[in-house]
Structure 1
Amino acid sequence: MMYAVIISVLLLIVLSMLRVNVLISILLAALSAGLIGGLSTIETMNMLISGMGGQAETALSVILLGIFAVMIKYSGITGILVKKLLKFMKGKRGVILLVIAGISSFSQNLVPVHIAFIPILIPPLLQLFDRMKIDRRGVATALTFGLKAPYIMIPAGYGLMFHQIIASEMKKYGMNISVSQLPLALLIPGIGMIVGLLIAVFITYRKEKVISSSKELENSLASIEISAASEVMPFNKQHVITLFAIVLSLGIQLYTHSLAIGALVGILAMFLGGVTPFFKGDEIVDDGMKMMGTIAFVLLIAAGYSTILKETGEISDLVAHTSNIIGGSKLFTSFIILSVGLLITMGIGTSFGTIPILAAVYVPLCLSVGFSPLATAALIGTASALGDAGSPASDSTIGPTIGLNADGRHNHIWDTCVPTFMHFNIPLFIFGMIAAFIL
């Protein structure tokens, strides 16, 4: 039955929108998928637990990066950073959002560290956002743009991997296209994401964010006091060691291709350099766990949920069933391919994993209705990318929440998932349809 995917993803979305804890939402969605797919409760839980190992390394990396971020904040260098940025960015909310989007974009291609930079860069800037009255939903949108748009448009780093998967899967099912042609095919959907970013920065979140609740006001004033205290701290040896630890951590990540090893090296450098006293170790680790623990478990359970959807064969049934009802209409074909891609990626939270699922059935279908290789690549690429923004289980939404919720004032669903869904999935869908008809 294909209905397990549809029902479980809709359940995940509804529960999340109702502010049910995201961990509970994903667990209930996973259980519903298994039970509807014919598994018993015990079989479903066993499959969920076995699938959690797929994100074990990422979850460990998130925890270690959280600890590293707390140590960087402890060094006092964040106050200096805030002071410098306030001096140059005062009143320029749109500019700082675009700068964040640009820095985030580097993480996919130029320096492919994915979400590793977020817990290091963003928590120190929360004070700055409060003082500049920046809407954190705008920051989340800018970060997600950088985590998503570059791999769609630019064939380097994670983008090269994305393009290679599309090209190889299309070739496997009878349609040849070179990796060098993919940027042209995906340029139009990428432009859609740029349009969504500009709308978010200069229209939706242009106004000042007013702090309404007394708790938010108290936290904001506390942040300002911390910032003011740190402004008088001169740049010293501890800050030099901190910068060295950050660069060393980044270098190790690039050399070993392991975020966990890079973060661990950064932590050791901070301890050995005397930036963080050894007797503060328990406190630092506890704070890091508080910041990142929930996100780590979301990643683990999301991996288990994805395993249930794929191993029960429900996703393959959904794709095959939709291909039987499309007929020969190009318009209907593009609409169904993009809609199914959105649904699948919202559930499993990965664009890269969606490509092989869609290509198996939809590449031959595109051949039969007369789509060109470029148009087919645009459809498959866009369909797999749809849902990466907006999915509660995606790195592209979990990453921004990791940084923006460091002080407990950023809701994963309403402040990250909903804004990114609106600003990126809608234009991606529209521009993907356009690409299919003009390529």
Structure 2
Amino acid sequence: MNAVVAAVVVMLVLSLLRTPVVVALVLGALSAGLLAGMGLDATLAAFTGGIGGGAEVALNYAMLGGFAVAIAQSGLPHALADLVQRKLGTTQGRANRVVKYSLILVLAAVAISSQNLIPIHIAFIPLLVPPLLMVMSKMQLDRRLIACVLTFGLVTPYMFLPVGFGGIFLNDILLKNLGSNGLGTEGINVMAAMWIPAAGMLVGLMLALFTYRKPRRYDMERLEAAERAEVNYSTARLVSVMVALLAAFGVQLWTGSMVLGALSGYMLCTLTGIIRWKQADGVLIDGMKMMAMIGFIMITAAGFAEVMRQTGEITTLVESSAEVIDGNKALAALLMLLVGLLVTLGIGSSFSTIPIIAAIYVPLGLSLGFSPLAIVALVGTAGALGDAGSPASDSTLGPTAGLSVDGQHHHIWDTVVPTFLHYNLPLLVAGWTAAMVL
């Protein structure tokens, strides 16, 4: 069996069996290295050499966690919950649904904006979502739906809109790699190539809204214990924490650093008295504990991805899929998409998948008679497949970081599985359709 396929299968099966994701990633990496004939020492060397790539993101989340705990201590979660409770108390039936879907719409809009208008990527989630958990719990809003909404907003814009992170993915990575491998990209409208795959993501979102429409109860005592928020909030405290939030986002946009953004917000919370100076260490440590799982997954995922690369069998996987096609365009499109799904599930980054698969997919697509637009859609979709639904992807780790602060949201079964089913399956169909009709 191909080492990359084996590694991804081992990692996914163990994760679904509720093995800790970090353990699943380590065992998956070891299985890849040993099957590829690297030996134990070389596999461990590759793994440890790769983990440094995830350290920066882990540090970002640790600082964001400390700031998130500071926000909770300001009383903001209770203020938002009380506001919604009053609103729900004076409305019934249809009006309650308006409040619910308005909140969902706002979260979707913020997630979309985080990729282009305010390019802060996943940094907003640990800061915005935890204060809303009490609101969601009182509304009995299923957090699996919120995970799907956030993932939609994180993935779809970069697939379709060539601005912000989409400009990097579509222009600097997708079109650049296609051009360097022999495809004439001059004059290609990338939005015309990717609108059908993006429509597939939209279909997935609509399905998630239907699937998770029923109320789901959460333990309010566990949530309040995790937040450790003061119920008696004041206007001054709320104003201070809002200023801290704006400062955190502003500093990140100015410097490009999540760490500095979170640090500035945290220090403002300390200076304005939201956090007492004697409690500052404890609050920061609590925040780091809250984000520890996410950070370790990101670090381990970087090592896993490096082992996969050093096996050399990602290219073998792509080439072997090309050998069985035998001129069948429909089968070719399906296999290209499935290989892209496997690679991205393992690496956890659609941005890193494109350079790997483009070298084989471009000449193969041209030889089979696919149009330039169809090849753009195929490679773009193959890269994006698996971003939603990968245990090691920012697009799933980000939502989990915000939704699991009280331990009532499981990364695999409440984020990874729902996003995989609702996005990868429609995206697979949409990408295949785009390849056949464009």
State if a TM-score over 0.5 links the two structures: yes
Equivalent position of 2:160 in the other structure: 153
Partners of 1:30 and 1:305 within 8 A in 2:
yes
Gap change, CA 1:221 and 1:69, over 3 Å in 2: closer
Partners of 1:127 and 1:223 within 8 A in 2:
no
CA distance in 1, matches of 2:427, 2:276: 49
CA distance in 1, matches of 2:226, 2:119: 31
Gap change, CA 1:86 and 1:100, over 3 Å in 2: farther
Partners of 1:167 and 1:176 within 8 A in 2:
no
Q: What is the aligned-residue identity percentage?
A: 45
2:198 is equivalent to residue 197 of structure 1: no
Alignment-mate amino acid for residue 55 of structure 2:
A
Equivalent position of 2:91 in the other structure: none
TM-score (normalizing by structure 1): 0.94
Equivalent position of 1:316 in the other structure: 315
Alignment-mate amino acid for residue 427 of structure 2:
L
SS in 2 for 1:406: coil
After superposition, where does 1:307-346 map in structure 2 within 5 Å?
307-346=306-345
CA distance in 1, matches of 2:55, 2:318: 29
Partners of 1:67 and 1:289 within 8 A in 2:
yes
CA distance in 1, matches of 2:105, 2:430: 22
CA distance in 2, matches of 1:19, 1:208: 25
CA distance in 2, matches of 1:259, 1:242: 18
Aligned length, in residue pairs: 429
2:37 is equivalent to residue 29 of structure 1: no
- Of the structure 1 ranges 377-386 and 260-269, higher mean CA displacement relative to structure 2 is found in 260-269
- Of the structure 1 ranges 313-322 and 344-353, higher mean CA displacement relative to structure 2 is found in 313-322
Equivalent position of 2:131 in the other structure: 124
Partners of 2:80 and 2:135 within 8 A in 1:
no
CA distance in 2, matches of 1:246, 1:33: 43
Partners of 2:32 and 2:308 within 8 A in 1:
yes
Q: Quote how far apart the aligned CAs of 1:240 are.
A: 2.2
2:113 is equivalent to residue 110 of structure 1: no
- Of the structure 1 ranges 291-300 and 240-249, higher mean CA displacement relative to structure 2 is found in 240-249
Equivalent position of 2:222 in the other structure: 219
- Of the structure 1 ranges 426-435 and 277-286, higher mean CA displacement relative to structure 2 is found in 277-286
2:143 is equivalent to residue 144 of structure 1: no
Equivalent position of 2:395 in the other structure: 396
2:198 is equivalent to residue 233 of structure 1: no
Q: Quote how far apart the aligned CAs of 1:233 are.
A: 3.2
Alignment-mate amino acid for residue 142 of structure 2:
D
Equivalent position of 1:75 in the other structure: 74
SS in 1 for 2:204: helix
CA distance in 2, matches of 1:129, 1:82: 8
SS in 2 for 1:288: helix
Q: Quote how far apart the aligned CAs of 1:282 are.
A: 2.1
Partners of 2:66 and 2:287 within 8 A in 1:
yes
Partners of 2:223 and 2:406 within 8 A in 1:
no
Gap change, CA 1:82 and 1:76, over 3 Å in 2: same
Gap change, CA 1:328 and 1:114, over 3 Å in 2: same
Q: Quote how far apart the aligned CAs of 1:239 are.
A: 2.4
CA distance in 1, matches of 2:223, 2:70: 21
CA distance in 1, matches of 2:39, 2:86: 60
- Of the structure 1 ranges 268-277 and 114-123, higher mean CA displacement relative to structure 2 is found in 268-277
CA distance in 1, matches of 2:357, 2:148: 27
CA distance in 2, matches of 1:387, 1:106: 22
Gap change, CA 1:364 and 1:284, over 3 Å in 2: same
Partners of 1:390 and 1:418 within 8 A in 2:
yes
Equivalent position of 1:376 in the other structure: 375
C-alpha deviations, 1:156-184, integer Å up to 9, x for none?
Answer: 11000000111001101111224861111
Gap change, CA 1:179 and 1:416, over 3 Å in 2: farther
Q: Any gaps of 5 or more consecutive residues in structure 1?
A: none
- Of the structure 1 ranges 411-420 and 178-187, higher mean CA displacement relative to structure 2 is found in 178-187
CA distance in 2, matches of 1:273, 1:131: 30
Partners of 2:22 and 2:300 within 8 A in 1:
yes
Alignment-mate amino acid for residue 144 of structure 1:
T
Within the candidate set 191, 199, 208, 1:183 is matched to 191
Gap change, CA 1:221 and 1:260, over 3 Å in 2: closer
